[in-house]
Structures are given as structure tokens and as C-alpha cells.
Amino acid sequence: MQTPLILEPSQAADSCVIWLHGLGADRYDFEPVAKMLQQQLSKTRFVLPQAPTQPVTINGGWAMPSWYDILAMNPARAISMEQMETSAQTVIGLIENQRDGGIDPARIILAGFSQGGAVVYHTAFLRWQGPLGGLMALSTYAPTFTDDLQIEESRRKLPVLCLHGSQDQVVLPHMGRAAHDALARLDVPVTWHEYPMGHEVMMEEIQDIGAWLKQVLNA
């Protein structure tokens, strides 16, 4: 794995956001957003990992940065589970690195855009066993959530922020909403925000993220 981009805050870090980019992007994709958020979060470190470059079936087999292979658009679960598990282990390794460096995992937020969001959903609710501070799901879906989704009792208190564009033609809004609803049925404290945008990020959304992070981290 390539070295993540790490953005240190202006004061000694007491919290961390691990933020995964989307398909075909890179670790620098959310650097401007992270720096903007750090203007409000003076003690929050941002860790921006880089997905490996590997072939993506739905894109003609072209190699590009991806957290997992997408085998078909339908069904939504037609993905490489082996690569999903590898990416989840990458995220777990990043959590453990921050923990071992002195950050309480209860103050670590997982975030992901599009494919990156699918990985953090899988990691937070189905793989990582320790505490977490929260999860941000941007323009994403949860291909590993089944209809009979079961989660550990400790996960039922994990705050989740779902953000999606109403005009998203890449990850359709109903796919994002399905992940939200699956968690809501399990009484997870999950919030849904929808914006007049496509598969992208807008300023209003960033402002909502900043407010949510300040609340969750008591910053």
C-alpha cells in the first residue's frame, strides 16, 4: 500500500478522520476538503489513503485506483469480495496505527466517497471489533449489507452521516438510501442529507460535515 497522505492539525491531534477516495481518484482528492475542515477542527488529523491500481471489470478491465473490482452494475453486490476484504484490512491497519500512536479509537471517524464509502461501511459494521467515533458515507452504497443484516450490539450506537446527491447517476440515490434504511432498522443513529448535485461534493455538504464532526468529536 502506498503511504497515506496525512494532514496534521494546528494543535496536537486528539482525533482522526480516515477518509477513502472513490474509484479512479487518489489520496489527494479530498485534501482541499480536509484542509477546509481543519480550520474548524484544530485537533483533528486527517489520514487520506491511496487505493491500489488494479483492473476494473465494468470499465473494460482498465487498471485504475480502486478499492475493489466491480464485476457488474447489477446486482449491486457483484463485486470482488476478496478485494473488499483486503481494503477493509487496510482500513483496520490505519485505525490500529492511529490507536498505537495515541488516538483513542472512539475518536476515530471513518469516511468514504463512493467506492471508499462502501469499504468503510463494510469495515465499521462487519469487520472492525473495537470502538469507533462515527462514520461518514458520501455518495455511496453498502454492497455487503444483506437483507438480514445483523451487527454487533456495540455498533448500534455508532453515529452515521449519509450524504447523497439527488441527481447522482453513478450511485443512484435509492442505493444510498437503502444503506441508510438498513441501519435505521437496527436503531443505529443514522442521518440522511440530500443535495441538488450529481456524483460530487458541494459547499453546503462540506459545511454540514463540519458541523457534524464538531458535534461528534465535541470539538
Cα–Cα dist 58/89, whole Å: 24
Q: Which residues have C-beta within 8 Å of that of residue 179, sequence separation ≥ 6?
A: 121, 137, 140, 141, 142, 145, 162
User: Annotated catalytic residue: which of 122, 164, 180, 199?
Assistant: 199
139 is known as an active-site residue: no
User: Annotated catalytic residue: which of 87, 114, 139, 164?
Assistant: 114
Cα–Cα dist 217/11, whole Å: 15
Instruction: Give the position of cell 482500513.
Output: 91
Cα–Cα dist 161/179, whole Å: 11
User: Annotated catalytic residue: which of 26, 29, 69, 168?
Assistant: 168
168 is known as an active-site residue: yes
| 3-state helix/strand/coil string of 85-122 | HHHHHHHHHHHHHHHHCCCCHHHEEEEEECHHHHHHHH
Give 62-70 contacts, CB < 8 A, sequence gap 24+: 64/23, 64/24, 65/21, 65/23, 65/24, 65/25, 65/26, 66/23, 66/24, 66/115, 67/20, 67/23, 67/115, 67/116, 67/118, 67/119, 68/115, 68/118, 68/119, 70/23, 70/115
114 is known as an active-site residue: yes
User: Active-site residues: which are they?
Assistant: 114, 168, 199
